[in-house]
A = this chain, B = another copy of it.
Amino acid sequence: MVSITTEPIDMNAAYQHVSTDAAGAITFFFGTVRDNTQNRPVERLEYEAYDRMALAKMQEIADEAGQRWDVRKYAIIHRKGNLAIGDIAVLIAVATPHRADAFDACRYIIDTLKQQVPIWKKEIFEDGQVWVDAHP
């Protein structure tokens, strides 16, 4: 399951979704809104997505992970809109029979998502704002 939502991400629903009797290992990765970036205080974040393409890329990444590892269930959920410090921006959940696959697949998914999925994050500071990584 891949999704993009403006609502708070529900970890219990994600757990229910990936839970399966065949799994001995479930990994969750939460990307959360940190209160600073390189020690500069962050007030909040804004996320924007090219929904159609982002969902397609998320699905491609999930499918690739399923080719590489024994993934039985997964959830890739990204939030967009205004996020406050501490909010969950993304949750990757992966269920596998054994734990090495759960760690490897989860890490692959978030690393690849950050490289390929058309979602953009703006950091709002007290005295300005910046689209993350936009400039060299």
Query: Which residues of chain A from 71 to 100 have a CB within 8 Å of any chain B CB?
Result: 85-86, 95, 97, 99
Interface size class of A (residues with CB under 8 A): 20 to 34
On whether the beta carbons of B35 and A26 are closer than 8 Å, the reply is no
Q: What 0/1 readout, one digit per residue, does chain A (1-39) give for beta carbons within 8 Å of chain B?
A: 000000000011001000101111111111111111000
Chain B hits for A23, CB < 8 A:
32, 34
Copies of the protein in its oligomer: 2
Query: Is A55 interfacial (CB-CB < 8 Å)?
Result: no
A27: chain B residues at CB < 8 Å are: 27-30, 106
Chain B contacts for A103, CB-based, 8 A? 29, 103, 106-107
| A102 close to chain B: CB less than 8 A | yes
Among A15, A28, A97, A107, find the residue whose CB has the most chain B CB atoms closer than 10 A: A28
